[in-house]
Amino acid sequence: MIAPRLIVGLGNPGAEYADTRHNVGFWFVDRLASDLKATLAPQPKFFGKVGRAGELWLLEPSTFMNRSGQAVAALARFYRIEPNEILVVHDDLDLPPGAIRMKQGGGNGGHNGLKDIQAHLSTPDFWRLRLGIGHPGERAEVASFVLKPPRREEQEAIDAALDRCLVAWPKLAAGDVAAAQRILHVKA
């Protein structure tokens, strides 16, 4: 991996969604921005809140999850950022709370944010940082599950995972995926 030039946190805009499981991507970008002393500010031409730390761009789309690709593509095209220089941070139902997986490319697992990004970039070959939120057990309950806050023990596990992501960040920033994965891919 070459060092990422764009980190995208996925979530839904608005105070009513701020603490929901679907917004873990926003939570990571907020923490990373704080660590890097970058300020996120609304940028209408990029359909989101944008910050910069050196050569690194941070983005939280202000579109709803299923339209995330509009923001990602707008910023990536404007700054000539290639898909393999983009890291998308998102919630993952297939991982337990606190689990983390990082990979490049692949399917979208039914995640509407990833699906829209793939469509707008015309490729699945961007990097993904998948943060586990668990699964409600029933497919019919997924929509309401992701739009509710985690239970206390789930939140603690997710917070610990976010902390691990920040510990791994210097390795990711240097493009050392193997070293970052050794930090990220521990048992939750």
Catalytic (active-site) positions:
22
CA distance 152 to 156: 6
Nearest to 170 by CA among 153, 154, 184: 184
Nearest to 46 by CA among 57, 55, 30, 33: 57
What does the radius of gyration of the chain's CA atoms come to, in whole angstroms?
15
CA distance 88 to 117: 9
CA distance 7 to 51: 10
- Six-digit token string for 77: 């095209």
